[in-house]
Homo-oligomer: A and B are copies of this chain.
Amino acid sequence: MAPRMGRQPLTTRAALSHVALRLFLERGFERTTVDDIARAAGIGRRTLFRYFPSKNDLPWGDFDAELARMRAILAATDTAVSLVDALARAVVEFNRFPPEEAPFHRERMNLLLNVPALVAHSALRYAEWRRVVSDFAAGRLGVAVDAIEPTVIGWVFLGASLAAYEQWLRSDNSNLIELLESALLLLKEGFAPGELPTVEPGGRT
């Protein structure tokens, strides 16, 4: 009947992430204790810490699987596509998801980009993501992963992605994919002198 030996797990990472997310939205991240989440999920506090190493990891769900997906997208890219284009396409593809999941994803990112404890913790997840990008770039450029070019490229694509996410969260009716594309376009157009127009001051919002 059951596939594996031994006792079957009571729940899943996804289910716990879901429960936690709901509580975080209801009461706020700081005012939700790990006990609250475990109780709401019907498991022991000790057990919860076997599914997730920390409270901060709960909103991230199964990010390892997402990273594997990113790696797969890059690996499947035609080698005729330039490095920058390959990464730009992969970033866009990586952040595509069914429209019905948008509200969920939106709230998750709202937490990750605004709750200080999560902003801090996310640096560790971003580092893993940058590593995927750097690995790919290093392979394409024929240099070591810890060389300066792949490292900068990792940072630059992360920055563009997060800048797009911040824009996305700022207005209700914006399109994440479009924002990502325009952020990535900024990278491609580069920062050569004069190319970023030296607009006359005063045009704030």
Q: B residues within 8 A CB of A10?
A: none
Q: A155-B162, A179-B148 are in contact. Are A141 and B187 (CB under 8 A)?
A: no
Q: A159-B155, A163-B152, A191-B190 are in contact. Are A83 and B196 (CB under 8 A)?
A: yes
Q: Does A182 lie within 8 Å of B124, measured CB to CB?
A: no
Binds B, one of A26-34, A99-107, A164-172: A164-172
| A162-205 CB contacts (< 8 Å) to partner B | 162-164, 166-167, 170, 179, 182-183, 186-194, 196-205
Q: Does B142 lie within 8 Å of A200, measured CB to CB?
A: yes
Interface of A is mostly: helix
The one of B153, B159, B193 in contact with A152, judged by C-beta atoms closer than 8 angstroms, is: B159
Q: B residues within 8 A CB of A159?
A: 151-152, 154-156, 158-159
| A108-167 CB contacts (< 8 Å) to partner B | 116, 119-124, 127, 138-144, 146-149, 151-156, 158-160, 162-164, 166-167
The answer to the question of A95 belonging to the interface, with a C-beta cut-off of 8 Å to chain B, is: no
State in angstroms the CA–CA spacing of A197 and B124 once bound together.
30
Q: Does B152 lie within 8 Å of A187, measured CB to CB?
A: yes
Q: How far is the CB of A160 from chain B (nearest CB, A)?
A: 6
Please tell me how many copies of the chain the complex holds.
2
A88 (CB) vs chain B CBs: closest residue = B191
Q: Does B193 lie within 8 Å of A82, measured CB to CB?
A: yes
Known A82-B198, A140-B201, A187-B191; further 6 A-B contacts with Cβ < 8 A: A84-B196, A120-B121, A140-B198, A148-B167, A149-B186, A151-B167
A192 (CB) vs chain B CBs: closest residue = B190
Q: Does A163 lie within 8 Å of B139, measured CB to CB?
A: no
A204 (CB) vs chain B CBs: closest residue = B144
Q: B residues within 8 A CB of A35?
A: none
A120 (CB) vs chain B CBs: closest residue = B120
The answer to the question of A36 belonging to the interface, with a C-beta cut-off of 8 Å to chain B, is: no
Q: How far is the CB of A40 from chain B (nearest CB, A)?
A: 26
